[in-house]
């Protein structure tokens, strides 16, 4: 112990007294506030995307088990959420919601206890309307009782939907309905995450902070690329509205459900993480593949999504289908995503100065999917596959000499047409070497250029490939050589140099290749691998970088008369949004149009474009005629517009100016001998909604009275009345009557008055239908003032077994569309086979408590 050497005790006491207030915090100083609930985007599971209404206690418990055993719980997934259809159809005598005892014999409370015992949390589903989307009791007017019921059961998360909402459509009503449940949840005293699911209808990002912890920004996701791309485009610009405790929700994950490629599922996970979106798994984890589990369990990507700063990645650039997102991370790193929504390989890049990265002489990039580490000087770029996303974790780098440079390998390839190669050139397979060891194919006009080929009915085979190799690292790379690996039987030869002794920082080697394709090559998608080999750094280490481009081989249509909307164009350019098949253009998003309608005439087949559009189809000299109606769609004023059909470069038919409201004009184009078909719609101001209605292409010299493919068989057209349509559940209400107000076949359709909770409309058949050759059922509808859900079911066999798909296709108020259900999407009771030759009844489901017009129930 140190002694006090001569210092007075009083002085020591005084000095302690002086420092005491510094050593002891004042009693009045407030403790830091706790983090908000849902401080990071919620992670977990929901059954709807994979199971729909087929939810039960066993599924939920087994999913909880898998979350733990697979390591997904440790990765951050904690909520196990039950969606719609968990309750009985009626409330109990005390007014409370009642779990279906067949599905949940332990009740929701028993399931919650099991889930909690696993260290996980339980979610439930409710609806801010009188009925849920599947027709079960909603919580509108029952908020206090339902919130307390869920709290008593031990629920930790509420997804609150928007069906049958009785709304006047105003934002004020949406705020009122969702605030009522927020206040009811608060009064329970239980901590419950509140997920507002009103589909982005009232722009909840502008009002729901402080009410919900997350809010849907879009309509329902589907397990296909068009849906994913559309949702990314809608949600990405909303970064300013997200943060800890309040998140933009672009809907649940479809990863693993089979409708997309692995590349598209990685984009799904990547963009959700970059957008700080909730990660709610929507696949059957009990049977998920190793690839699916690896995508869902990517710890580096989850860390980006769950970063404690809670910032949604901002859109830095968005042009021609290529998007760059920049997301700041705790600790100073940034996540940079390079997203390619186009249908071919593309080089996506951004200058570091355009991001939030602080200035440095070099930057270290870690690819969160591969783990590869590279360095760049001032530009982050990569060859990104079609529908793919590259995500880097980026930080400044002091010594770039020890890290491999980032080398971006890109490629572009026009249309590939099979055909004869040069007689003087022997066929060669495998990679083309940098010195041109693989001989070149015959020179030809490369199909897929902006100018269509005009050489005649049999253009030379192959196409033109352009490769680019760009050094983005600090310091030159040396001994660069490029190789193109083509499918067996194909040829590839560089027409320009494919080798460079030295490539400086930000310099590019561009090489043009001639690709030869055998004449008997089937239409399809074929990979071409482009590899750059080089040396880098003071020690001249060897390295390679590769990208893959998909060659799309097109062939002429088969013999027959076909709806042109069933044939994919080789190229498609449109001024506003995508060209839509069998619907009008609608707007900037996929599948946002109505049934094509020109001067009141409704068409179920066609192409919805805007003026400033061009579509190109390869005919190969095998087709003879195109017949189509053209006009301005009723959904939007505009025009006049001019429609022109080109056979190669010759105008084969032209409409002259067509005004809005004018009856459709019929064009007949002679395509004899043409290699290419082009459809062009033009006007003084681009963007007018221009329709190609019911275009039919004739190929192979078939007679003009041949049936148009795919063949359609009308089951009910309502020309003679209601055709016996009735109600499946009389107690639920609804009426039917013949009506001329909407028809897509004949002069009449069916007007259906729907109950709020919905009903099935159709009829049992006196004679069974044989639909053996059909693959789908369809019907057309036009919604009234409140919109509607549409679905199709059948009954089969002597027992009239009910087979239903569980798809709920929504149509907005005053909008129209075709509702489709494939037979392979229909589920029958256990032990029942869906015998298409023995269909005993056909039913369509409609709801929301308004009038709906339908027509042309058919099999195709």
Could you tell me if 279 and 43 are in contact, meaning their C-beta atoms sit under 8 angstroms apart?
yes
**Per-residue burial over 115-127, b = 16 or more CB atoms within 10 Å of its CB, e = otherwise:** beebebbbbbbbb
**Per-residue burial over 33-48, b = 16 or more CB atoms within 10 Å of its CB, e = otherwise:** eeeeebebbbbbbbbb
Backbone angles phi, psi at 104, to 5 degrees: -130, 75
Q: Which is catalytic among the residues 65, 220, 318, 732?
A: 220
Q: Choose among 317, 499, 483, 472: nearest CA to 408.
A: 472
Please name the residues in contact with 147: beta carbons below 8 A apart, sequence gap of 6 or more: 181, 184, 185, 187, 188, 192
Radius of gyration of the chain measured on its C-alpha atoms = 31
Q: How many CB atoms lie within 10 A of CB 193?
A: 23
Please name the residues in contact with 800: beta carbons below 8 A apart, sequence gap of 6 or more: 764, 840, 841
Could you tell me if 182 and 196 are in contact, meaning their C-beta atoms sit under 8 angstroms apart?
no
Burial class from Cβ neighbours inside 10 Å (0-12, 13-18, 19+) for residue 373 reads middle
Residue ranges of alpha helices (H) inside 83-215 are 107-117, 143-153, 171-188
Could you tell me if 843 and 728 are in contact, meaning their C-beta atoms sit under 8 angstroms apart?
yes
Dihedral (CA of 49, 51, 55, 59) sign: negative
Q: Which is catalytic among the residues 161, 307, 582, 648?
A: 161
Q: Choose among 485, 430, 427: nearest CA to 461.
A: 427
Could you confirm whether 152 is annotated as catalytic? no
State both tokens at 673: 């001998």
Could you confirm whether 156 is annotated as catalytic? no
- Inter-CA distances, 569 with 222, 506, 517, 554, 596, Å: 23, 36, 20, 10, 19
Q: Choose among 367, 235, 221: nearest CA to 280.
A: 221
Kindly write down the DSSP assignment for every residue of 62-118, as one continuous string. HHHHHHHHTSHHHHT--EEE--SS-B-SS--TTS---B-TTT-TTHHHHHHHHHHHT
Please name the residues in contact with 228: beta carbons below 8 A apart, sequence gap of 6 or more: 221, 254, 260, 264, 267, 268
For the chain, give the longest Cα–Cα distance: 121
- Residue for token digits 């192959």? 462
* Catalytic annotation, residues: 161, 220
């Amino acid at each position: 112990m140190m002694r006090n050497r001569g210092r007075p005790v009083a002085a020591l006491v005084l000095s302690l007294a002086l420092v005491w207030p510094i050593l002891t915090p004042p009693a009045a100083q407030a403790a830091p506030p706790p983090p908000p609930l849902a401080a990071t985007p919620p992670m977990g599971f929901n059954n709807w995307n994979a199971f729909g209404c087929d939810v039960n206690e066993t599924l939920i418990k087994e999913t909880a088990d898998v979350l733990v055993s697979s390591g997904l719980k440790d990765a951050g997934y904690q909520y196990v959420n039950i969606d719609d259809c968990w309750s009985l159809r009626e409330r109990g005598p005390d007014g409370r919601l009642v779990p279906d005892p067949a599905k949940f014999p332990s009740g929701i409370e028993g399931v919650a206890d099991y889930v909690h015992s696993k260290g996980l949390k339980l979610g439930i589903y409710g609806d801010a309307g009188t009925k849920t989307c599947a027709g079960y009791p909603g919580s509108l007017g029952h908020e206090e009782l339902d919130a307390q019921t869920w709290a008593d059961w031990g629920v930790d998360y509420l997804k609150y939907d928007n069906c049958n909402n009785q709304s006047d459509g105003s934002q004020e009503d949406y705020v009122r309905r969702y605030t009522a449940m927020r206040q009811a949840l608060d009064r329970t005293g239980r901590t419950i995450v509140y997920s507002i699911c009103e589909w982005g209808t009232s722009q909840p990002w502008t009002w729901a902070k402080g009410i919900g912890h997350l809010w849907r920004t879009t309509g329902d996701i589907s397990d296909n690329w068009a849906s994913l791309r559309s949702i990314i485009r809608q949600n990405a610009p909303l970064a300013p509205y997200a943060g800890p405790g309040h998140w933009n929700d672009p809907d649940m994950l479809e990863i693993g459900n089979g409708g997309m490629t692995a590349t598209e599922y990685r984009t799904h996970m990547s963009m959700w993480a970059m957008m700080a979106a909730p990660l709610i798994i929507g696949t059957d984890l009990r049977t998920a593949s190793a690839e699916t589990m690896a995508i869902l369990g990517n710890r580096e990507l989850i860390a980006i999504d769950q970063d404690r700063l809670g910032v949604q990645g901002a859109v830095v650039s968005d042009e021609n289908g290529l998007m760059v997102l920049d997301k700041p991370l705790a600790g100073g790193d940034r996540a940079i995503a390079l997203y390619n929504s186009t249908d071919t390989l593309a080089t996506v890049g951004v200058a570091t100065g355009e991001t939030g990265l602080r200035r440095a002489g070099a930057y270290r990039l870690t690819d969160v999917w591969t783990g590869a580490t590279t360095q760049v000087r001032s530009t982050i770029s990569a060859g990104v596959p079609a529908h793919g996303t590259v995500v880097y974790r980026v930080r400044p780098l002091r010594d770039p000499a020890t890290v491999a440079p980032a080398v971006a390998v890109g490629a572009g390839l026009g249309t590939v047409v099979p055909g004869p190669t040069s007689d003087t050139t022997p066929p060669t397979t495998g990679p083309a070497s940098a010195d041109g060891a693989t001989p070149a194919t015959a020179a030809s006009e490369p199909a897929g250029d902006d100018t269509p080929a005009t050489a005649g009915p049999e253009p030379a085979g192959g196409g033109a490939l352009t490769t680019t190799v760009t050094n983005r690292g600090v310091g030159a790379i040396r001994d660069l050589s490029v190789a193109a690996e083509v499918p067996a039987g194909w040829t590839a030869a560089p027409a320009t140099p494919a080798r460079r002794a030295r490539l400086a920082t930000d310099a590019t080697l561009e090489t043009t290749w001639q690709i030869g394709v055998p004449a008997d090559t089937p239409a399809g998608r074929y990979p071409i691998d482009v590899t750059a080999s080089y040396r880098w750094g003071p020690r001249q280490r060897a390295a390679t970088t590769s990208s893959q481009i998909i060659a799309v081989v097109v062939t002429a249509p088969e013999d027959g008369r076909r709806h042109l909307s069933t044939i994919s164009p080789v190229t498609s350019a449109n001024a506003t949004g995508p060209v839509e098949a069998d619907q009008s253009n609608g707007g900037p998003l996929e599948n946002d149009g109505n049934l094509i309608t020109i001067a009141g005439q409704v068409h179920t087949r066609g192409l919805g474009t805007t003026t400033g559009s061009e579509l190109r189809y390869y005919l190969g000299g095998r087709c003879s005629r195109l017949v189509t109606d053209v006009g301005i769609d009723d959904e939007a004023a505009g025009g006049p517009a001019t429609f022109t059909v080109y056979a190669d470069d010759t105008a084969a038919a032209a409409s002259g100016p067509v005004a809005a409201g004018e009856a459709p004009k019929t064009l007949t184009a002679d395509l004899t001998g043409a290699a290419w078909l082009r459809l062009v719609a033009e006007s003084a101001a681009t963007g007018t909604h221009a329709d190609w209605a019911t275009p039919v292409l004739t190929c192979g010299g078939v007679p003009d009275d041949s049936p148009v493919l795919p063949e359609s068989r009308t089951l009910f057209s309502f020309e003679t009345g209601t055709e016996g349509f009735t109600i499946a559940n009389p107690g639920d209400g609804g009426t039917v009557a013949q009506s001329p107000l909407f028809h897509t076949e004949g002069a009449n359709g069916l007007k259906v008055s729907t109950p709020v909770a919905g009903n099935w409309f159709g009829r049992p058949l006196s004679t069974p239908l044989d639909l053996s050759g059909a693959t789908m059922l369809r019907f057309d509808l036009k919604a009234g003032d409140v919109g509607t859900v549409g679905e199709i079911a059948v009954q089969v066999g002597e027992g009239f077994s009910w087979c239903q798909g569980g798809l709920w296709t929504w149509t907005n108020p005053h909008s129209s569309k075709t509702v489709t259900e494939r037979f392979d999407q229909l589920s029958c009771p256990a032990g029942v086979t869906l015998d298409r030759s023995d269909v005993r009844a056909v039913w369509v489901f409609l709801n929301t408590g308004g009038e709906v017009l339908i027509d042309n129930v058919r099999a195709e």
